[in-house]
Amino acid sequence: MSRASRFLHACRREPVDCTPIWFMRQAGRYMPEYRAIREKYSLLDMIRTPALAAEVTLQPVQAFDVDAAILFADILPILGCLGLDLDFVPNRGPVLANPIRDRRDIPTSAVVPVGDVVGTTLDAVAMVKKELAGTVPLIGFSGAPFTLACYAIEGGSSKDYLRAKTFMYREPEAWHRLMAVLVDCVSEYLVGQAEQGADALQIFDSWAGCLGPQDYETFVLPYSARVVAAAKATGVPVIHFATDTAGMLPLMRRLNSDVVGVDWRTNLAEAWDILGHEVAVQGNLDPALLLADRETGQRGASRILDGVQGRPGHIFNLGHGIHKQTDPEIVRDLVQFVHEHSSKKGIP
Amino acid sequence: MSRASRFLHACRREPVDCTPIWFMRQAGRYMPEYRAIREKYSLLDMIRTPALAAEVTLQPVQAFDVDAAILFADILPILGCLGLDLDFVPNRGPVLANPIRDRRDIPTSAVVPVGDVVGTTLDAVAMVKKELAGTVPLIGFSGAPFTLACYAIEGGSSKDYLRAKTFMYREPEAWHRLMAVLVDCVSEYLVGQAEQGADALQIFDSWAGCLGPQDYETFVLPYSARVVAAAKATGVPVIHFATDTAGMLPLMRRLNSDVVGVDWRTNLAEAWDILGHEVAVQGNLDPALLLADRETGQRGASRILDGVQGRPGHIFNLGHGIHKQTDPEIVRDLVQFVHEHSSKKGIP
């Protein structure tokens, strides 16, 4: 078995020779090769130029023995379908010039076609697939409707998303309309990525953990479940990842994704017990552990691997995106360590 | 039964006539009475002037039918015991001028006596107790060693506490020395508050949830448990509160506090089942629910009250501090609603 197939087998909970590993945000600022390109282009240019997006997508696949590539892209451009203008402002992050502040700002359907908004990203998928030439599978992705709705209403990042949550509580009908539109856009985007050759699809709901379980169930779950269903209908495995959701794992399971991504704030084996073993899991090393030294990260990794005891259906990953301060040498060594440690444990 | 005793009975899991309620950060910017004082004085002046601290502590007790007062103070001044100079900078928050950046910055014991650093806060406790004249109990509090250590190393607030966590991983011996010193300072501070008349003590570990369970167990739990033990030795009930810890409730229980505060990211009844019913619980309404309208907050409150079904040992609170945008009228109505709804449920 090679890294061409290990990840996809694990997504389907089939036995593998060793635990597959990839990193959220693996194409990023911790890599000197990435920074060399980033110095020359803006983030939006990199995202919207297929050749550049393809190049940085391939960098970690070439540098490390990771078992999957993940498309270099951002979750926010898709908000262009709602007529929202995105920019990345230095030292401030993403900013939407015209956020949703009123129920009347919400259209009943996309005002700009998905193809017009993220067509270059779909082109990048096709380009990466060709260049990968089957060495590793390619993961496409999208933000989940809730996280996108938060950005759309806040107009950018936020500490506690109070503006978005207040809107959700005060204007439930408008909220549900917004979520329905986002389901359509996100679903079409994900299906488009699968059509261009993405071998798996991950849905990121980075901010879902700012809600209590009851509100998640009422205002979010039905929409994310529709996105998962649309993505699964393409036939590729679907991963759902959210953070700060240790208190609502049973709700995560109800999304019906093939794989549940788990952040580092919970014991992975215990989380898997709660989720049930008829789903695969992905995670969940605290990315901060990689900032110390190689032994600290490897000690954490072996605890995770030993905890799940070689059960088929574990994809190793961090519990969140890799930090920009991470030493690439430690990343390289961790990949090797995870492969060796998990194969020694005699996984069939 | 009156609000003089309801809260303390609930801390001890004794039957009450209705569920007691108070709010984290109940003396704060959402109250016009508070803002009127805050306009005239700096935050540090308010904290360090017993008459001012006492006055704002009493404001919510006078304005609402809450069942406890909580001392107006801040968790950070105690870091003066380590020689750290605190200031609150407008639009930036707390800043420590001389943070810990090296193991050699960590003393083996307090360099400034607790009484010299927070003596005025201990005086405020005595003053509040006198002015309360037994109407409601007074809760004293301190930050937990971990959250204080994070601030000490970061020099202020942080998004992910990477500097503190990296220090912890790289310099475990220095970390353990820092935590041991903080245990001594915090314990003495809490005992001092009880001696001045505090009727209960709450320990805030606001940032504990940035760690995975294993790291919490290794680097934090033993120290917080020592603080809890020292506080309990005074004879008053001890509440431990942390956020983002839904994935490590069994570890929270091992701290052995009388009451476990739970944030809003988990179902309170389910959390109580995991904690075990031999401990009291406090929480856990999402404070954002109070920003919508009175019905939204009350619906959330009734779900929580109905979920725990009148089991003795529930103290109603928010799952985090009250937001500054909250309408005081909604706070007043929620207090009444919680009292009425819980008494209707026929709690003995």
Task: Work out the average pLDDT over B225-232.
Answer: 98
pLDDT at B344: 78
Of the candidates B162, B246, B289, the beta carbon closest to that of A291 is on B162
The pLDDT of residue B348 is 41
CA–CA distance, A188 with A178 (Å, rounded to integer): 16
- To the nearest whole percent, how much of chain B has pLDDT over 70? 99
pLDDT above 90: residue B346: no
Decide: B166 and A288 in contact? Cβ < 8 Å: yes
| pLDDT confidence tier of residue A347, bands split at 50, 70 and 90 | very low
Assess whether A29 carries a catalytic annotation: yes
Question: Confidence class of residue A345 from pLDDT cuts 50, 70 and 90?
Answer: low
Quote the pLDDT of residue A348. Answer: 41
pLDDT of amino acid B310: 87
Q: Are strands B93-96 and B86-89 parallel, antiparallel or unpaired?
A: antiparallel
Task: Give A277's pLDDT tier (boundaries 50, 70, 90).
Answer: very high
Query: Residues A30, A34, A67, A151: which is the catalytic one?
Result: A151
- The 3-state secondary structure of A72-105 reads CCCCCHHHHHHCCCEEEECCCEEEECCCCCCHHH
* Residues in B lying within 8 Å of A, measured between beta carbons: 160, 162, 165-166, 169-170, 209, 211-215, 244-248, 264-267, 270-271, 284, 286, 288-289, 291-293, 296, 300, 303, 319, 323, 325
C-beta atoms of B214 and A267 within 8 A: yes
Q: What is the CA radius of gyration of chain A?
A: 19
User: How, if at all, do strands A238-242 and A259-261 pair?
Assistant: parallel
Interface of A with B (CB under 8 A): 160, 162, 165-166, 169-170, 209, 211-215, 244-248, 264-267, 270-271, 284, 286, 288-289, 291-293, 296, 300, 303, 319, 323, 325
A 10 A CB-CB count for A210 gives: 24
E strands in chain A: 69-70, 86-89, 93-96, 138-143, 200-205, 238-242, 259-261, 280-285, 314-318
pLDDT at residue A310, as a whole number: 87
Give the pLDDT band (50/70/90) at residue B91.
confident
Contacts of A213 in chain B (CB under 8 A): 265-267
Closest chain B CA to residue A169: B292
Q: How far apart are CA B106 and CA B125, in angstroms?
A: 30
A65-81 CB burial, b ≥16 within 10 A, e <16: ebbbbbbbbbbbbbbbb
Quickly count: other Cβ atoms within 10 Å of residue A241's Cβ. Answer: 26
pLDDT digits (tens, 9 = 90+) for B250-296: 999 999 999 999 999 999 999 999 999 999 999 999 999 999 999 99
Q: Which residue has the tokens 């979750």?
A: A75
Confidence (pLDDT) at A280: 98
Report the C-alpha gap between B201 and B17 in whole angstroms: 23
Separation between Cα atoms, residue A288 and residue A292, nearest integer Å:
8
Cα–Cα distance measured from residue A315 to residue A21, given in angstroms and rounded to the nearest whole number: 6
Residue A269 · residue A310 · CB < 8 Å: no
**Alpha-helical segments (H) within B220-267:** 221-232, 249-253
Residue B80 has pLDDT above 80, yes or no: yes
Give the C-alpha separation, A243 to A253, whole Å.
Answer: 14
A128-151 average pLDDT score = 98
Closest residue on chain A to B293 (Cα): A170
Contacts of B289 in chain A (CB under 8 A): 169
Are A281 and A271 contacting, i.e. CB atoms less than 8 angstroms apart? yes
| Mean pLDDT confidence for B54-75 | 98
Find the angle CA(B24)-CA(B28)-CA(B33) to the nearest 5 degrees: 135
Distance of CA A201 to CAs A188, B113, B338, Å? 12, 57, 45
CA separation for the pair A259, A298 (Å, rounded): 24
CB contact under 8 A, A292 and B169: yes
Q: Which of A166, A207, A289 to mutate to test the interface with B (most CBs of B within 10 A)?
A: A166
Q: What is the mean pLDDT of residues B109-122?
A: 97
Q: Which two tokens stand for residue A45?
A: 């240019």
State pLDDT tens for residues A291-324: 999 999 999 999 999 999 989 999 999 999 999 9
Contact A265 B211 (CB under 8 A): yes
A-chain CB neighbours of B271 within 8 Å are 247
User: Residue A25 catalytic?
Assistant: yes
Of B162, B213, B291, the CB nearest to A162: B291
The continuous run of DSSP H or E covering B239 comes out as strand B238-242
Question: Distance (Å) from the C-alpha of residue B270 to the closest C-alpha of chain A?
Answer: 9
Tokens for B177? 């020395």
A303 to chain B: closest CA residue:
B214
Q: Give A124→chain B minimum CA distance, Å.
A: 32
Least Cα distance to B288 among B260, B326, B315, B259 occurs for B326
Average pLDDT, chain A: 96
The verdict on a CB contact (< 8 Å) between B289 and A169 is yes
B170, B247, B319 member nearest A246 (Cβ): B247
Minimal CA separation from A214 to chain B, in Å: 8
**Segment A146-187, tens digit of pLDDT:** 999 999 999 999 989 999 999 999 999 999 999 999 999 999
Sheet of A238-242, strand order = A69-70, A138-143, A200-205, A238-242, A259-261, A280-285, A314-318
At B81-90, the pLDDT tens digits run 999 999 999 8
Residue B347 pLDDT > 80, yes or no?
no
Annotation marks residue A12 as catalytic: no
Which residues in chain B are contacts of A267 at CB distance < 8 A? 212-214, 247
> What percent of chain A clears pLDDT 70, i.e. is strictly above it?
99
How many Å lie between the alpha carbon of B300 and the closest alpha carbon of chain A?
Answer: 9
| Chain A interface test: which of B265, B270, B286 (most A C-beta within 10 Å) | B265
C-alpha distance from B186 to closest chain A C-alpha (Å):
26
For B54, phi then psi, to 5°, come to: -65, -45
pTM: 0.96
Nearest residue of B to residue A263, measured between CA atoms: B212
pLDDT of residue B195 exceeding 70? yes
pLDDT band at A203 (very low <50, low <70, confident <90, very high): very high
Q: Which of A3, A6, A25, A226 is catalytic?
A: A25
How far A128 CA sits from the closest chain B CA (Å)?
A: 33
Tell me whether strands A69-70 and A86-89 are parallel, antiparallel or unpaired.
unpaired
Helix (H) or strand (E) holding B260: strand B259-261
What are the Cα distances from residue A42, in Å, to A24, A53, A287?
21, 12, 26
Distances (CA, A) of A289 to A248, A260, A295, A334, B220: 25, 22, 9, 11, 16
CB distance A60 to A70 below 8 Å: no
**Chain B positions in Cβ-Cβ contact with residue A25 (cut-off 8 Å):** none
Closest by Cβ to B246, choosing from A169, A211, A246:
A246
Question: For A21, which DSSP code?
Answer: B
Q: Give domain limits for chain A.
A: 6-344
Q: In the predicted model, what is the mean pLDDT of residues B320-330? A: 97
> Other C-beta atoms within 10 Å of A95: how many?
16
Model pLDDT for residues A101-126, shown as the tens digit of each residue: 999 999 999 999 999 999 999 999 99
Residues 6+ apart with CB under 8 A from B151: B76, B79, B94, B96, B143, B157
Q: Under DSSP, is residue B293 helix (H, G, I), strand (E, B) or coil?
A: coil
Residue A172's pLDDT is what? Answer: 96
Return d(Cα A284, Cα A270) in angstroms, integer.
Answer: 12
Interchain CB distance below 8 Å, B169 and A291: yes
Mean model confidence pLDDT for chain B: 96
What's the pLDDT tens digit per position in A204-248? 999 999 999 999 999 999 999 999 999 999 999 999 999 999 999
* Residue B15, pLDDT above cutoff 70: yes
CB within 8 Å: B170 and A288: no
Q: Which of B284, B303, B323 comes nearest A162 by C-beta? A: B323
Dihedral sign, Cα of residue A20, residue A21, residue A27, residue A33: negative
Cα B206 from Cα B320, distance rounded (Å): 9
Q: How many Å apart are CA A328 and CA A331, to the nearest integer? A: 5
For A211, residues 6+ apart whose C-beta sits below 8 A from its C-beta are: A146, A165, A219, A220, B265, B286
**Contact yes or no for A8/A137 (Cβ under 8 A):** yes
Q: List, in order, residues 6 or more apart from B3 with CB less than 8 Å away.
A: B20, B65, B66, B67, B135, B136
CATH of domain A6-344: 3.20.20.210
Nearest to B73 by CA among B60, B57, B88: B57
User: Which residues of B have a catalytic role annotated?
Assistant: 25, 29, 38, 74, 151
Q: Is B212–A319 a contact, with Cβ atoms under 8 angstroms apart?
A: yes
Cα distances (Å, whole numbers) of residue A184 to A230, B195, B297: 9, 62, 31
Mutate to test the interface with A, among B166, B167, B252, B322 (most CBs of A within 10 A): B166
Please provide residue B191's backbone torsions phi and psi, each rounded to the nearest 5 degrees. -60, -40
Considering only CB atoms, which chain A residues are within 8 Å of B247?
246-247, 265-267, 270-271
Residue among B214, B245, B267 whose CB faces A213 most closely: B267
Q: Is A169 helix (H, G, I), strand (E, B) or coil?
A: helix
> With bands split at pLDDT 50, 70 and 90, how would you rate the model's confidence at B345?
low
Number of A to B CB contacts under 8 A, please give it.
109
- 3-class secondary structure, B242: strand
Which pLDDT tens digit goes with each residue over B287-318?
A: 999 999 999 999 999 999 999 988 999 999 99
